[in-house]
Amino acid sequence: VLERTVHVPLDLVGPGGAGSPVASDTPVELVDLYPTFLELGGAAPAAGMPGQSLLGGSLDGEGESVAYVEFGDMLALREGDDLLTFRAYTPNLTALDPALTDRLEFESVDAEKYSLFRVNEDPLQGRNLVHHEWETTLRCRSRLAAIRRGVGAPPADSLRPERIQELRRHAREGYW
């Protein structure tokens, strides 16, 4: 997601190992592996399945590749060169807590909770572009919220209210 972090290589080799290598210069996620395996096997992905084949055969032409990350009380979306992060700044709030989705959707968009960077131009993330690139900020925020309500949503009905309160109370479980 970040240009300054370690990039983890992934090599997929099919039967016989023949064929030309395909390299992806765009962000990818683990959800991209399943559509890739389906394409390698000649199968069609189910409608609405998240992820895109890394081989390029099932790209939907929707725009640039997207990567979504959640950690602690922070959500991030990498779309092409743009990286938008949202941080709730709430102690012991986790990505498992539906309250994080509420904060994302209802907090005002300001440079305290939101950050927008062009990671290729500013790899050390020194210049927050939230107020300088307002349309990009709002577009990325809308996409981030859609992912958080969709494939990135906390598992429905898997956390009882008591368990959510327990996560909030105990720091050892609360952040990650």
- Is the pLDDT at 28 greater than 80? The verdict is no
As given in the structure block, the two tokens for residue 40 are 């390698």
Q: Which residues have C-beta within 8 Å of that of residue 128, sequence separation ≥ 6?
A: 111, 115, 116, 117
Q: Calculate ∠ Cα 129-133-135, nearest 5°.
A: 140
87: amino acid identity, one letter: R
pLDDT digits (tens, 9 = 90+) for 90-119: 877 778 888 889 999 998 888 889 999 998
End-to-end CA, the chain? 18
**Of residues 20, 24, 57, the one with CA closest to residue 38:** 57
pTM over 0.85: no
CA distance 8 to 86: 24
pLDDT digits (tens, 9 = 90+) for 34-88: 888 888 778 877 777 777 887 764 444 445 677 888 888 899 999 888 999 999 9
> Which pLDDT score is estimated for 145?
95
User: Higher pLDDT residue, 19 or 33?
Assistant: 33
- The burial of 50, by beta-carbon neighbours within 10 Å (0-12 exposed, 13-18 middle, 19 or more buried), is given as middle
Residue 150 CB coordination number (10 Å): 11
**Dihedral in degrees, nearest 10, Cα atoms 148, 150, 153, 157:** 150
Distances in Å between the Cα of 146 and the Cα atoms of 10, 26, 101, 105, 110 are 28, 21, 10, 10, 19
pLDDT digits (tens, 9 = 90+) for 136-174: 999 999 999 999 998 888 877 767 778 777 776 766 655
**Of residues 38, 32, 30, the one with CA closest to residue 14:** 38
> Which pLDDT score is estimated for 17?
62
The structure tokens 């990567």 sit at 67
